Amino acid sequence: MIKDLENIFIGSHAKIMDAFTSLEKSNKSIITSDKWKRDEGGGGHTFVIQDGNFFDNCAVNFSSIAGKKLPKAALGKSISQSSKYGYRAMGVSVIAHPKNPFIPTSHMNIRLFCVMGINNTIKKWWIGGGYDLTPYLPFKDDCINWHKEAKENLDLYNKSFYKNFSKNCNEYFYIPHRKERRGIGGLFFDNLSNMTLEKSTNMLSGIANTYLESYQSIISKRKTSKFTKEQKEFQLLRRGRYAEFNLIYDRGTAFGLQSNGRIESILASLPKDVKWSYKKDKNYIKMEKEVLKYIGKDWNA
Amino acid sequence: MIKDLENIFIGSHAKIMDAFTSLEKSNKSIITSDKWKRDEGGGGHTFVIQDGNFFDNCAVNFSSIAGKKLPKAALGKSISQSSKYGYRAMGVSVIAHPKNPFIPTSHMNIRLFCVMGINNTIKKWWIGGGYDLTPYLPFKDDCINWHKEAKENLDLYNKSFYKNFSKNCNEYFYIPHRKERRGIGGLFFDNLSNMTLEKSTNMLSGIANTYLESYQSIISKRKTSKFTKEQKEFQLLRRGRYAEFNLIYDRGTAFGLQSNGRIESILASLPKDVKWSYKKDKNYIKMEKEVLKYIGKDWNA
């Protein structure tokens, strides 16, 4: 049973690795593909492209871990503590930081938590996941399509999902100390267990597919755009926001750190190069003003 | 009374700004010096050097803020909640990221919290502070002197302080998910209120002076060392650890973010350039192995 569930996630993982690899066309030394085991139980597969022609870096992680007690960060409001038979948590997470600042950073995650019962049965389970987009030099059409495609897919499962999940996404990917969202949103949900397990995992695969297709469509439109040194600098500085969110607020990162996870895999979500600057020059201020218009808008409206 | 206390901190702030400015000898455009006010009460002075000849960046902050309720991060274990007359918190904090990887990153902080009583009296107060050193390409003598000078100064106030504060420092500047300390230590203390207020603030000024003298002594020995591209790359990657600590674990940063502080000043502690890398090459591994020997050792032993 657990094996069958794992295979669903492994399928999504493989599909995204293939798609990202085909964007590179360069030598293989930029790719690291590590299968690993965890002392406390379970393991995973971390796939990283670094210093490519297309990606500054990206990470496509699969993990399936077993443990005795769920870490605090995994517990939603309404979820009771785990059973004496332990838990399983499996998921795929993707973060992509393309070199070209005209192509947004994107993130996708699908996950399943199982509280185990006697004889390896699943006593209780819930799913979570979503995806979001962080443009630097934004385009209106990209934002509209990103949300439109997310809605079309989720409407297949429940007509209320998109509205709720996109609202959650805006709330979740918020950086309080900056008073800014991380990007133009998308989907975020957690603790969902009101469909059958089969329908739930179908939906997770569908979310991974839709994410990939929507992102590929943006990539194909923007990948030939030429960018200036100032535009690249702007991207590196705005990536600081991304690092701040992931390190301070992200529940996925907290879950990984608290569950004694594999640090290299968890922090592979961070951008390869980041800048922080106290001073802001005129170019930066102008570009930031523009991108904040997009980030401040409700594209799900 | 509050004004007199502020002047003590302003004195330490000015001395460090002067010393750091004299290391640059270049045009003034690399220096930003901002005096600011805070809506809820109080203000500060943020002094930043960025893209200098000597510093990649450094921040020397003074702040004195007033508020109604102390943020959670400011409250020590034994400290009761604040009074209806509000609180004052003042301090100086310094973070220096020199360009040359042979010169360590350093940090210093001195702070005073006052719980106010009627008619602007101070009902209760405590001090905290310390300093620590983060070398990249370490030297034994630098580590020994750093600790020796810290001890000699603190022995003037209490013979047990150095032993306790240097132990605290090793415990506080620890990165749990990396299972590493941030550096080779120094001093850290908080919630200290068992001396007179006068003796306490004298000690804070003395700590700021000793920090500056110890750091200047290392700088004068190392500033002419030539470094390679690999050594610079190593520094940028290890600075990632610094950003992780400051964003995830540092109480000072948490205090700033929770107290609706001035974000630009708080995050001026972050290095200007940071790298994260999933892959580690042979050069990196060799240099990391070496620096971890120094970081893992108790220099206060």
Q: What percentage of residues in chain A have a pLDDT greater than 70?
A: 94
**A127-136, A171-180, B81-90, range with the lowest pLDDT:** B81-90
On whether the CB atoms of residues B265 and B59 are closer than 8 A, the answer is: yes
* Top-confidence residue, B261 or A128: A128
- CB-based contact A272 B271, cutoff 8 Å: no
**Is the pLDDT score of B257 beyond 90?**
no
Please report the pLDDT score of residue A265 as a whole number: 87
| Mean per-residue pLDDT, B184-190 | 97
| Mean per-residue pLDDT, B92-117 | 96
**A138-152, A168-182, A235-249, A254-268, range with the lowest pLDDT:** A254-268
Question: Considering CB atoms only, which of B266, B268, B276 is closest to A272?
Answer: B276
> Quick check: A175 contacting B, CB < 8 Å?
no
**Tens-place pLDDT, residues B43-92:** 999 999 999 999 999 999 999 999 887 666 665 544 555 578 889 999 99
Burial class (CB in 10 A: 0-12, 13-18, 19+), B150: buried
- CB-based contact B276 A278, cutoff 8 Å: no
Please report the pLDDT score of residue A160 as a whole number: 97
Neighboring chain A residues of B244 at a CB cutoff of 8 Å: 247, 267
On whether the CB atoms of residues A131 and A186 are closer than 8 A, the answer is: yes
Question: Considering CB atoms only, which of A59, A248, A263 is closest to B247?
Answer: A248
The 3-class SS string of chain B reads CHHHHHHHHHHHHHHHHHHHHHCCCCCHHHEEEEEEECCCCEEEEEEEEECCCCEEEEEEEEEEEEECCCCHHHCCCCCCCCCCCCEEEEEEEEEEEECCCCCCEEEEEEEEEEEECHHHCEEEEEEEEEEEEECCCCCHHHHHHHHHHHHHHHCCCCCCHHHHHHHHHHHHCEECCCCEECCCEEEEEEEECCCCHHHHHHHHHHHHHHHHHHHHHHHHHHCCCCCCHHHHHHHHHHHHHHHHHHHHHCHHHHHHHHCCCCHHHHHHHCCCEEECCCCCCHHHHHHHHHHHHHHHCCCCC
On whether the CB atoms of residues B40 and B260 are closer than 8 A, the answer is: yes
Neighboring chain A residues of B178 at a CB cutoff of 8 Å: 263
Neighboring chain B residues of A271 at a CB cutoff of 8 Å: 276
Please report the pLDDT score of residue B76 as a whole number: 53
Please report the pLDDT score of residue A262 as a whole number: 83
Question: Considering CB atoms only, which of A176, A177, A272 is closest to B277?
Answer: A272
Domain boundaries of chain B, sorted by first residue: 2-296
Determine the residue among A29, A39, A276, A280 to mutate to test chain B binding: the one whose Cβ has the most chain B Cβ atoms within 10 Å.
A276
| Mean per-residue pLDDT, B4-33 | 92
Q: Which of B45, B107, B147, B177 is catalytic?
A: B107
| Mean per-residue pLDDT, B141-165 | 98
Q: Taking CA atoms, what residue in B is nearest to A247?
A: B248
**Is the pLDDT score of A78 beyond 60?**
no
The CATH code belonging to domain A2-296 is 3.40.1500.10
**Is the pLDDT score of A214 beyond 60?**
yes
Whole-number Å distance between alpha carbons of A201 and A113:
12
Average pLDDT over chain B, rounded to whole?
A: 92
Question: Considering CB atoms only, which of A257, A270, A278 is closest to B50?
Answer: A278
Give the amino acid at B199: K
Give the amino acid at A202: N
Q: What percentage of residues in chain B have a pLDDT greater than 90?
A: 81
**Tens-place pLDDT, residues B208-255:** 999 999 999 999 999 999 999 999 999 999 999 999 999 999 988 887
pTM listed for this prediction: 0.91
Please report the pLDDT score of residue A18 as a whole number: 96
- CB-based contact A273 B271, cutoff 8 Å: no
* Min distance B182 CA to chain A CA atoms (Å): 16
| Mean per-residue pLDDT, A151-168 | 97
Whole-number Å distance between alpha carbons of A36 and A207:
26
> Which sign does the torsion angle of CA A139, A144, A149, A151 carry?
positive
Neighboring chain A residues of B279 at a CB cutoff of 8 Å: 32, 48, 50
Please report the pLDDT score of residue A169 as a whole number: 97
Please report the pLDDT score of residue B79 as a whole number: 53
> Quick check: B193 contacting A, CB < 8 Å?
no
**Tens-place pLDDT, residues A134-157:** 999 999 999 999 999 999 999 999
> Quick check: A264 contacting B, CB < 8 Å?
yes
Q: What percentage of residues in chain A have a pLDDT greater than 90?
A: 81
Q: Taking CA atoms, what residue in B is nearest to A236?
A: B273
**Is the pLDDT score of B169 beyond 90?**
yes
* pLDDT tier at A202, thresholds 50, 70, 90: very high
Average pLDDT over chain A, rounded to whole?
A: 92
Window B:219-238, CB contacts with A under 8 Å: none
